[in-house]
């Protein structure tokens, strides 16, 4: 299961700085019961909700926003036993804004709830491009 990135990936992320916005695809599978180190009881959904409540103002302060959100319906291509409870794309003005968010004290407080509530996740960085009619840009 994956809930955070490695030091090597974090370093590669920062080194791949460039001008312009980045899009971060988030796929999240929640725990049925959150796992807090202090024994606090909550569902995974409740823990992730708390993460969102605390982290949203930080995202907005740094110029970020959610540009797409969807609800899982059916795995068309891929393992049929893999589902995602939460899927969204967050846009950041640039690499620096994401780095600043990860260093923000309020965001770090929020991460306690994310880590407690998330069973598995994927976080994929994309170069935001203009939409169009064709599949290949």
* Cβ atoms of residues 126 and 23 within 8 Å: yes
Q: Which residue stretches of 26-134 are H helix?
A: 44-61, 95-103, 105-117
Domains and CATH numbers, the chain: 7-127 (3.30.70.100)
* Cβ atoms of residues 123 and 49 within 8 Å: no
| DSSP annotation string for 11-55 | HHHHHT--SS-EEEEEEEEE-SB---TT----BHHHHHHHHHHHH
Q: Is 125 exposed, middle or buried (0-12, 13-18, 19+ CB in 10 A)?
A: middle
pLDDT band at 137 (very low <50, low <70, confident <90, very high): low
Contacts of 2 (CB under 8 A, 6+ apart): 120, 121, 122
> Once rounded to an integer, what is the mean pLDDT over residues 101-114?
98
Report the residue count for the chain.
Answer: 137
> Once rounded to an integer, what is the mean pLDDT over residues 40-55?
98
Q: What percent of the chain has pLDDT over 90?
A: 91
Nearest Cα residue to 97 out of 129, 124, 65: 65
Instruction: Tell whether the model's pLDDT for residue 26 goes beyond 70.
Output: yes
Query: Which stretch of DSSP H or E encloses residue 86?
Result: strand 86-92
| Calpha distance 83→76 (Å, rounded) | 11
pLDDT for 57-90, tens place per residue?
999 999 999 999 999 999 999 999 999 999 999 9
Higher-confidence position of 131 and 120:
120
């Amino acid at each position: 299961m994956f809930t955070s990135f490695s030091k090597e990936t974090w370093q590669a992320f920062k080194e791949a700085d460039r001008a312009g916005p980045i899009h971060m695809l988030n796929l999240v599978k929640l725990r049925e019961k959150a796992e807090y180190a202090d024994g606090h009881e909550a569902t995974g959904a409740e823990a992730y909700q708390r993460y969102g409540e605390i982290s949203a103002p930080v995202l907005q302060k740094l110029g970020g926003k959610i540009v797409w959100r969807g609800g899982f319906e059916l795995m068309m291509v891929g393992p049929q036993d893999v589902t995602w409870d939460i899927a969204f794309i967050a846009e950041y003005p640039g690499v620096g804004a994401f780095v600043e968010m990860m260093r923000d004290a309020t965001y770090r407080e929020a991460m306690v709830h994310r880590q407690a509530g998330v069973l598995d996740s994927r976080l994929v960085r994309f170069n935001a491009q203009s939409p169009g009619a064709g599949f290949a840009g």
